[in-house]
Amino acid sequence: MVLCFLMRETRGGGQEVLLGLKKTGFGVGRIVSLGGHVEPGETPEQAAVREVFEESGVRMAESDLEPAGTIEFVFPAKPEWDMSTVVYRSWNWLGEPSPSSEIDPAWYPAGSIPYPHMWEDSAHWLPRVLDGDYFAAVITLAPDNECVASVVFSST
C-alpha cells in the first residue's frame, strides 16, 4: 500500500495538503489521502505516481516523491487486512487536482486537518508527515477494525 500527500505553500506562508472525500470502496465517506495498492511488478514509487494520477488527474514523476515513512497496520480481528504502507509527500506535480470516480480532492490547511472525518489513526501519524519528519510506525487496530488500540513509533 502507498499513501501520497501533495503539499503546497499558501500566499500567506502557510502550508496546505491535498486530501479527498472517498466516494467508493474501503473508507467511503471519510476524508483520506491519495494512494492505494501496489500492483504486481510495480515499485511503491510507481504505485504512488499511478494512484495520484488515477485519483486526482495530477501528474508527477517518481523523482518528485519524498519518503515520509512507513506504517504497519495490524488488524488482530481481521488479519487478512494487515498491510504494510509506504508514505510519501511531494511538493512538485503538474496539473490541478480534479474529482475522479473514487476521490473528490480538496486542499486543507496543515493546521486545520479534518481529523474527526478521517480514520482515527491519521491523527497519530499525519502530523509527522506535515512536519516534514520521516517515521516508522506500527498501528494496531481495536476489535472494531476502526479504533486505534496502540501506536508504536520506532527510531528510524
**Does the pLDDT of residue 117 top 80, yes or no?**
yes
pLDDT at 131: 94
Cell 511488478 belongs to residue: 41
Render pLDDT for 9-55 as a digit per residue (tens, 0 to 9). Answer: 998 889 999 999 999 988 899 999 999 999 999 999 999 999 999 99
pLDDT classification of 156: cutoffs 50, 70, 90: low
Which residues does residue 6 pair with via DSSP β-bridges, in sequence order? 90
pLDDT at residue 111, rounded to an integer: 92
Q: Please give the single-letter amino acid code of residue 90.
A: S
Taking every pair of C-alpha atoms in the chain, what is the biggest distance, in angstroms?
A: 46
Q: How many secondary structure helices (H) and strands (E) does the chain include? A: 2, 9
Domain boundaries, the chain: 2-154
CB distance 27 to 3 below 8 Å: no
Phi, psi of 113 (to 5 degrees): -70, 135
CB atoms within 10 A of CB 155: 5
Beta strand 135-141 pairing with 66-74: parallel
Query: Which CATH number is 2-154's, of 3.40.50.720, 1.10.3470.10, 3.90.79.10, 3.40.50.12280?
Result: 3.90.79.10
Please write the tens of the pLDDT for every residue from 57-84. 999 999 999 999 999 999 999 999 999 9
pLDDT of residue 89: 97
**Mean pLDDT of all residues belonging to the chain:** 95
Does residue 134 have a pLDDT over 70?
A: yes
pTM of full prediction above 0.85: yes
Per-residue pLDDT tens digits for 106-115: 999 999 999 9
Between CA 22 and CA 103 the distance in angstroms is 5
Phi, psi at residue 46, to the nearest 5°? Answer: -60, -40
pLDDT at 92 over 90: yes
